[in-house]
Amino acid sequence: MEKNHSSSGFPPAAERTLQILDLYAADPEPKTLKYIAEQLQIPASSLYRIINCMQKYNYIVEEPFHPNYFKLGYKLSQFSSIAFSENDLIKLARPFMEELTHNSNQASQLCILSENYICTIDQCLPRSAITYISELGEKLPVNVSASGKLLTALLPPQKQEAFLKRAEKVFRRNTPYTIIDSEKLRKEFEKIRYQKYSTDVEEYAIGIGCLAVPIYHNSDMPIAALGVTGPISFYRNTHNFNTILERLRYFSKKLEELLPDVL
């Protein structure tokens, strides 16, 4: 029978789980249980139970086309997002946002998913007043926001469904153009996943348009959205729309290149 505590004083299962994560941190390639057991000197029966538990919580997944080979799961991407603080992200994004606002005369916003909502964590306002705009720190239902729809659409399928079950409870209809129907919203998500950007065409407020693109960091799941908002006439002009979309995509890529440097 195994002892309840290792020589270090820590529970063996907890220590071995961290050793497995350290092994993947040094080399993220898929591995067999035999290889892990040999490298870490973990009894096969104990390793089997630990890996099963890690699979259940999506920290480890089995390779679809290589049975018995295991790799890190998507769950760990959440921790990289948390470890990278909002203050770091705001500091890096601010120069790009200021340039966006200066050149387009649109408000620029940096948003993240928070609880069941989309939240604006930083914004730059143009000199000309905008009648309706979300306040800094304000949490909005994701269905009334370009950034909210974008970040929800780009969640992994299972995580998206779990999120929507909670988020749908706070959906609201701001205007006649707000998408409130779940089926229509899911079709909108399909379009967003394909085009890799999202719009708000008078869904938050009449006369207001928004455009948002994702920001990624070491994961297939974005950590934030970079967007602009202003009078709807700006977004109905094809040249304006294409120009600002190109700038948003350029700045998001430049920002992504900077993110690893601050970890």
Q: Is 177 domain-assigned?
A: yes
- % of the chain exceeding 70 in pLDDT: 89
Q: Is 6 domain-assigned?
A: no
Q: Is 7 domain-assigned?
A: no
Q: Residue 50 belongs to a domain with what CATH number?
A: 1.10.10.10
Do 69 and 84 belong together in one domain? no
What does the pLDDT read at residue 2?
42
Q: If you average pLDDT over residues 126-151, what whole number do you get?
A: 84
Residue 245 tokens read as: 């979309």
Q: Residue 128 belongs to a domain with what CATH number?
A: 3.30.450.40
DSSP label at residue 225: E
Do 106 and 234 belong together in one domain? yes
Q: Is 3 domain-assigned?
A: no
Do 127 and 38 belong together in one domain? no
Do 128 and 180 belong together in one domain? yes
pLDDT at 219 over 80: no
Do 54 and 116 belong together in one domain? no
Q: Is 1 domain-assigned?
A: no
Q: If you average pLDDT over residues 129-148, what whole number do you get?
A: 83
* Pairwise pLDDT comparison (83 vs 32), residue with the higher score: 32
Q: Read off the pLDDT band of 131 (50, 70, 90).
A: low
What does the pLDDT read at residue 245?
97
Weakest-pLDDT range from 1-5, 53-57, 244-248: 1-5
What does the pLDDT read at residue 202?
94
Do 62 and 156 belong together in one domain? no
What does the pLDDT read at residue 85?
67
Do 49 and 105 belong together in one domain? no
The residue range of the domain holding 39 is 12-73
Domain's final residue, options 43, 73, 103: 73
Do 171 and 250 belong together in one domain? yes
Domain's final residue, options 73, 88, 106: 73
**4: three-class secondary structure by DSSP:** coil
Do 58 and 108 belong together in one domain? no
Do 97 and 40 belong together in one domain? no
Q: Is 2 domain-assigned?
A: no
Do 86 and 195 belong together in one domain? yes
Do 26 and 86 belong together in one domain? no
Domain's final residue, options 73, 103, 121: 73
SS3 content of the chain, % helix, strand, coil (to 5): 50, 20, 30
Read off the pLDDT of residues 160-202 as tens digits, 9 standing for 90 and up: 988 888 898 899 999 999 999 888 999 999 999 999 999 999 9
> Domain count of the chain?
2
Phi, psi of 18 (to 5 degrees): -70, -35
Phi, psi of 211 (to 5 degrees): -145, 135
Report the run of H or E that residue 162 belongs to, with start and end: helix 157-167
Q: Is 164 domain-assigned?
A: yes
Q: Read off the pLDDT band of 241 (50, 70, 90).
A: very high
Q: Model-level pTM? A: 0.67
Q: Is 5 domain-assigned?
A: no
Read off the pLDDT of residues 47-99 as tens digits, 9 standing for 90 and up: 999 999 998 888 898 887 788 899 888 677 556 555 556 778 889 999 999 99
What does the pLDDT read at residue 263?
43
| Cα–Cα distance measured from residue 57 to residue 209, given in angstroms and rounded to the nearest whole number | 39
In the chain, the amino acid numbered 153 is A
- C-alpha atoms less than 13 angstroms from C-alpha of 119 in its C-beta half-sphere: 11
